[in-house]
A and B are shown apart, each in its own frame.
Chain A
Amino acid sequence: MPEKPGGLRAQSGDTVLMVGTTKGAFLLRSGPDREGWEELEGPHFPGEEVYSLALDQRGGRRRLWAAPGNPFFGCTLRHSDDLGDSWSEEDAHSVRFPEESGLSMKRIWQIWPGREVDPDHLYLGVEPACVFESRDGGASWAPLVGFMNHEHRPKWEPGNGGLCLHTLIPHPRDSARMLVAFSTGGVYGTEDGGASWAPRNKGVRAEFLPDKHPEFGQCVHKIDHHPDRPETLFLQNHWGLYRSDDWGASWNDIANGVPSDFGFALSVHPHRPETVYIVPLESDEYRCTPEARLRVYRTADGGGSWHALTEGLPQEDAWETVLRDALCTDSRDPAGVYFGTRSGKLWASRDDGDSWSLAQEGLPPVVCVKAAVLS
């Protein structure tokens, strides 16, 4: 096994990239200018897949969360308060379904620190599709029973990645409201703090079903929004690119000028709610960048038009795949935009996506990229 990596020697104002791969997690650090990535530490949890990472800086913390796992012994939830120099014990956080549920934990797909006003509240999105929450800073976890026991559950079908709940969107101003997305089930929302859930898929296509517009069963790949305009959401579907202006009650097609409306990843600009990034892929059978060109597409008008961002990215012989959590932005302006590929390349832009450089290559297949500016 590789030598145990250390923690990042980072300070306030630095930018940190957290990269989850199928063989461990890697941490990178850059100064505020993001000119270069001065430090790389990893792999943490060598040999284990890390599909979810998060940095929780609420309440004066600087707590890094990771969910390593493997097909043999399942997944665990770990945290580090020193940017990876040491991690909590493997059994420090128990995330389990109750035995009577009939469900067994396969993977933690999303770790989501909750609202700023409630710094001890965190959520997990897991497979099989469910939401877990902690109200004590992550010390203990429990499933949201209303979701776990949803009457639709017997009809939810796992996608190629499993029945994964990969997107959690707590309403930033209303603690009773939250949206989730999972494959395949689609978008569900709660208006009562998680006690009850209803599908919110009107207008979203299910190309792989005889009924192309069912109440639920869509294979939604990712949703994002800007917290200053929470009701406006953008959705990358398994075939389809959508926008909602009513908190997911209805969705409208915005695939205007993209080479493919299939893809996984989607991320909203940290300061401009109508600016969105995607990486289109060619078809669900192929799942590689169209024409072997690696292009990020950006809209600045909420999906009215999309433009290819290519400067610095290979425009030939690039058969790449970017997965649903492998694209993100940091919180600066102009924004840092980052994505990782299944071929182990990590690309970075520090000018809103106008130009790109290779931050790292030779990584194991990248499944998750998260960015944070240290407070």
Chain B
Amino acid sequence: MTVTIVLPAQLRDLVRDRGSASGEADTVRVEPAESTVGGALRTLGERHPAVLDRIVTEQFQVRPHVNLFVGRENIRWNEGLDTPVDDGAEVTILPAVSGG
């Protein structure tokens, strides 16, 4: 199973120039053992631990001002990191509209 993770601009430097960004620089393809968003992130973190640090806390909880979408659906309104992903799914990571 392959899942494409779409990174926001702020995190792209963390995967660039390391020979692992596939196709476009803003995406990373992973093959998670577990077919959930959390599983896809853990697989991402094995290759890019610093990226995972920016998305989730030490307690593996999504940072409060980061949003994750499977397709167009925010996982907060689904099953969070347990939200299932299918083969070919696209998980988009975006900073929330907050701050000043």
In the complex, what distance in Å separates the CA atom of A247 from the CA atom of B83? 54
Residues of A within 8 A of B53 (CB): 74, 91, 94, 96
Q: Assuming the A-B contacts A72-B66, A73-B66, are A91 and B58 also in contact, with contact meaning beta carbons closer than 8 angstroms in the complex? A: no
Q: How far is the CA of A94 from the CA of B98 in the complex (A)?
A: 26
| B95 with A73: CB separation less than 8 A | yes
Tally of chain B residues near chain A (CB < 8 A): 22
List the one stretch of A101-109, A266-274, A327-335 in contact with chain B. Answer: A101-109
Contacts of A97 in B (CB 8 A): 58
- Mark interface residues in B27-71 (1 if CB within 8 Å of A CB, else 0): 000000000000000000000011001110111110111100000
- Interface membership of A284, Cβ < 8 A: no
Is residue A357 within 8 Å, beta carbon to beta carbon, of the partner chain?
no
- B11 near A91: Cβ-Cβ < 8 Å: no
B73 is an interface residue with CB less than 8 A from chain A:
no
Given contacts A71-B99, A72-B99, contact A91 B49 (CB under 8 A): yes
Query: Residues 79-99 of chain B: 1 if any A CB is under 8 Å from the residue's CB, otherwise 0?
Result: 000000000000000011011
B14 near A: Cβ within 8 Å? yes
Instruction: Identify which of B13, B57, B66 contacts A90 (C-beta below 8 A).
Output: B13
- What are the interface flags for A76-99 relative to B under an 8 Å C-beta threshold, 1 for contact and 0 otherwise? 000000000000001100101111
A70 within 8 A of B: yes
Give the complex CA separation of A158 and B53 in angstroms. 23
8 smallest beta-carbon distances between A and B, as pairs: A91-B50, A104-B57, A73-B54, A72-B95, A72-B65, A97-B58, A104-B58, A71-B65
Please give, as numbers and ranges, the residues of chain A lying within 8 Å of B61 by CB-CB distance.
Answer: 104
Residue in A71, A72, A96 whose CB lies within 8 Å of B58: A96
Measured CA separation A102–B99 after assembly (Å): 26
A73 touches B59 (CB 8 A): no
CA distance A96 to B10 in the complex (A): 20
A141 to chain B, nearest CB (A): 13
Question: For the complex, what is the distance from the CA of A155 to the CA of B53, rounded to whole Å?
Answer: 28
A91, closest chain B residue (CB): B50
A320 to chain B, nearest CB (A): 20
The reply to whether A73 and B55 form a contact with Cβ atoms under 8 Å apart is yes
Chain A residues within 8 Å of B58, by CB? 96-99, 101, 103-105
Residue from B55, B58, B65, B98 having most chain A Cβ neighbours under 10 A: B58
